[in-house]
Amino acid sequence: MLAVQQPLASVPDPRSVPENAPEHCPGTESELAGKSAACEGCPNQDVCASGTAKGPDPALPFVRERMTQVNHKILVLSGKGGVGKSTFAAQLGWAFASDPDVQTGIMDVDICGPSIPTILGIASEQVHTSAAGWSPVYVQDNLGAMSVGFMLPSSKDAVMWRGPKKNGLIAQFLKDVDWGALDYLVIDTPPGTSDEHLSIVQLLKESGIDGAVLITTPQEVALQDVAREIDFCRKVGVRILGLVENMAGFVCPNCKTESQIFRPSTGGAARLAKETDVELLGSVPLDPRIGKSADYGVSFLDEYPDSPATSAYLNIIQRLKDILGDP
């Protein structure tokens, strides 16, 4: 039983626990592998005890091979849902791809709620298989995307998968998708800090992740979840490129007065950034047209170049490029 006062004390290194492990699995890389009480009755007990399970994931060499052609890998994370992760990932993709010489890919690892196909306006597309692997769906010549949304017979279908199946698909996305040579791979994640996040970090460890962009909104409930995400990044050793505050302020289209829909009751992202020593890349005001663009699958940056949100996005993206050391 978990001790109530210290629930985290017994948590093993999350990276070494197999997806289908018993509840208190010590992790295959642990000294106690195959020897702790929780291992009793586990079908893999003997394998773990013999020490041979300490080897790396068999998918890793294939992922590494595929990822040698990808220059920058950027994660878009947030502990909280609905703060604009997918929207930001899509804008980032579009902004990178506005330079015709830059090849960009967007990978959506939100298996249960994929939004990327809709936001990019390619919801009805399907994935094709070739000898080289799965072909991404292209929005334009230099912007490809991959999502579980392209694989479902109907958008109404729910993907009711537990962790191991989700991880299997993520591994396939990384090793079987024929991205070709990419300058940027933007990875959009589901909310939380769970299977999908651990898997992606684990699988890309050798190839190296350039860093993570964390998205938040100004309320304390969202900031708390993002603080947990920062803690996660530090635990698993992913560099944090910076924090983006979304839905900060709303300009009434009628009277042009700015009001705070999601009031930063505790100082907003600026305070969180300061407290956790993370760079605040910028704040994007709430513009109803952002949501509308996402629903219609058009690029907000191209449609409404005069919106204050567009300039905020572009400044953030420029800053990201600077951090990554690109022109």
Partner 1 sequence: MTAVQDTPVSRRLSSVKHIIIICSGKGGVGKSSVAAQLALTLYVSSADARIGILDIDLTGPSIPRMLGVDGSGVHQSSDGWVPVYADASDARLACMSVGFLLKNRGDSVVWRGPKKNAMIRQFLSDVRWGDLDYLVIDTPPGTSDEHLSLMEHLSPVHDRLSAVIVTTPQAVALMDAMKSLSFTRAVKLPVLGIVENMSGYVCPCCGEISNVFSTGGGEEMARREGVPFLGALPVDTELVSLLDAAEIVPKEGSQLPEAEQRGFGLARRYQETPSGKLFKKILETLLDTLLATERRISSN
Write the DSSP string, 208-251: ---EEEEEE-SSHHHHHHHHHHHHHHHHHTPPEEEEEE-S--EE
Stretch that binds partner 1, among 21-29, 100-108, 124-132, 319-327 (CB under 8 A): 21-29
Q: Is 39 annotated as a binding residue?
A: yes
Q: What is the DSSP-derived secondary structure letter of residue 177?
A: B
Residues of span 43-62 touching partner 1 by CB under 8 A:
none
Q: Does the annotation place 233 within a ligand binding site?
A: no
- Confirm or reject binding of residue 237 to partner 1 (CB under 8 A): no
Torsion, CA 137, CA 139, CA 144, CA 150, rounded to 10: -30
Among the listed residues 148, 105, 115, 147, the one whose alpha carbon sits nearest the alpha carbon of residue 295: 115
**By C-beta, is 65 or 157 nearer to partner 1?**
157
Annotated binding residue at 242? no
Q: Encoding tokens for residue 256? A: 């042009």
Site string for partner 1, 79-118 (x = CB under 8 A): xxxxx--x------------------------xxx-x--x
Query: Minimum Å distance from CB 18 to partner 1?
Result: 8
Site for partner 1 in 165-194 (CB under 8 A): 166, 190-194
Query: Per rule CB under 8 A, is residue 119 in the interface with partner 1?
Result: yes
Closer Cβ to partner 1, 111 or 281, answer by number: 111
Find out whether 291 is annotated in a ligand binding site.
no
CB of 104 to partner 1, least distance (A): 21
Look-up: residue for tokens 């900031």?
A: 223
Q: Is 254 near partner 1 (CB under 8 A)?
A: yes
112 is in an annotated binding site: no
Q: 132 to 161, contacts with partner 1 by CB under 8 A?
A: 155-161
Shortest Å, Cβ 227 to partner 1: 4
Q: Which of residues 60-79 bind partner 1 (CB under 8 A)?
A: 79
| 196 close to 190: Cβ distance less than 8 angstroms | yes
Which is closer to partner 1, CB of 129 or CB of 266? 266
Amino acid code (one letter) for 324: L
| Sequence-distant (≥ 6) Cβ neighbours of residue 165 within 8 angstroms | none
The alpha helices in 27-84, defined as continuous H runs, are 45-50, 60-67
Residue 250 neighbours by CB distance under 10 Å? 16
Is 283 a known ligand-binding residue? Answer: no
Nearest-CA neighbor of 81 among 161, 178, 3, 193?
193
Residues annotated within a binding site for ATP:
79-86
Residues annotated within a binding site:
25, 39, 42, 48, 79-86, 252, 255
